[in-house]
Structure 1
Amino acid sequence: MTETRPRSRKSPYPLWFFIPAAIIYGVLFLVPTVSSLWFSLTRWDLSTAEFIGLENFQQFFSEPFLVKGLVNTLIYAVTTSGLKTVCGLLLAVLLTSNIFARGFLRTLVFFPVLVSTIVGITFTVMMHPTKGIINVTLETLGIPGPGWLTNPALALFSVALVDVWKGVGLATLIFIAGLAAISPDYYEAARIDGATRLQQFFRITLPLVRPATVIVVTLSLIGGLRSFDLIWAMTRGGPGFSSDVVASVIYKQYQAGFYGLSTAGNVILFALIAVIILPFTLWFNRREVEE
């Protein structure tokens, strides 16, 4: 009796259906990526390109202000990502509970996400050291207002707080969706066993909302590492180089005509995002499989 081998299941779509998507992906991602890698190894302008190897990368890591931009990028990304995750989760828990005007409060929290980055100019005025509404209010309370954007020690963190204000609404929305997917039966069983609200939060909410947490952390980290527009609108990397990040450094080098150096900065930023995000994603996927 002859054995019948199972036939391999063929895709219902012919391969040529994927050609348009492959062309778009190649033109918009592969070609620019490969071109950036090549031009980062050259000294180029709009008409010529001279191959110089790794000199652009050596110069990038030998200039103190360029390294400062790299360090600031990591600080900015970790600060904004951490605050968005913590504040977003706490707001989501609050906005999924039985509170007054819950729908209005959800709209209020999400509204900054819809605001243009030009809001950075508004906060620049509000954070003015002598005439800004924030320091004027603090002075009426007898508290001396700091130089939010003029103090080198505070400038980067001041912009980070505005970034958190603008982006925490999206994190809250993602967490609300994650909380809505948790079955109420878990909380009911915990209440029967005498668990307090704090115990329910740490034993039920935090573990079951982990997928939403990973999404928020990943998006926030990528956004923080790529951040440029808000920083440029508020401080332009100043005072000095205290709030410069890799993206603003790249822009300044491009403005100065150092195209090869700015392209090398782009490659470093791409590698930085990949080195941070890919291991984190792989680690989380492995944890999901193990559990």
Structure 2
Amino acid sequence: MAAAREPVLVCENVSRWFQGVHALKHVSVSIGKGEIFGLVGPNGSGKTTLVNAITGFYPPQEGRILFEGRQISGLKPYRIAESGIARTFQNVALFRGMSVLDNILMGRHIFMRPNPLASLFYWWWAQREEIAHRRKVEEVIDLLQLESVRDEHVDVIPLGLQKRVELARALCAEPRMLVLDEPMAGMNQEEKEYMVRFILDAQEALGLTVLIIEHHMDVVTAICERVLVLNNGSRIAEGPAREAISDPQVVEAYIGKARHAA
């Protein structure tokens, strides 16, 4: 069972505020190795703030975050990426004017070490490194079935494919934990089904732990083993996906209190 798994990510009493807005209020959660864990809640509930705290963009002002037993709260985002956590963004954050292949290659940047000597002796030194990076990229392109658009500019491909390219770029960083911020936002039903399939394929093939923010509850209940529900920066429910989403506090947070007839 997921509850018995070795914890990979642990957030302990994480708080974050922006001037007068208390965006996270003593949130604690533990995510097990190999788990697909959902993070849900109404707009403004603190989901993306928690993800930004985990990935170093807005470190917690109280509490701490541990990844594989090591404290990462306070580290720079690139250090957290190097430690084994990769993410995608709510709004597609691809490099416009560049091809799909070049965008995916950017996921290898954490492994690249600029070296004038390597450039000077390219054929004996840098070429081997470039081939190794390209080999990893080709594996991810094959896994996510992006061969047909590899040379297209990201500006001209559909949103669903853009989201898949962003997923591919994250996978090229060889993470052990993948953080997905609304990967299905703006997609039609067919695109959602494709994305679910590719997330499951990647999780199984690469042995990933996945934290996913998602508003589509059909997706959450289909792929997430457990979920944490936030509202106004606080935890209101946690547990198996269907049970947590059916919690009266969660229903109230999404649709308001039931109106009783006079």
User: Based on CA coordinates, which of the two structures has the bigger radius of gyration?
Assistant: 1
The alignment's TM-score, normalised by the length of structure 1, stands at 0.24
Name whichever structure is richer in strand by fraction.
2
Name whichever structure is richer in helix by fraction.
1
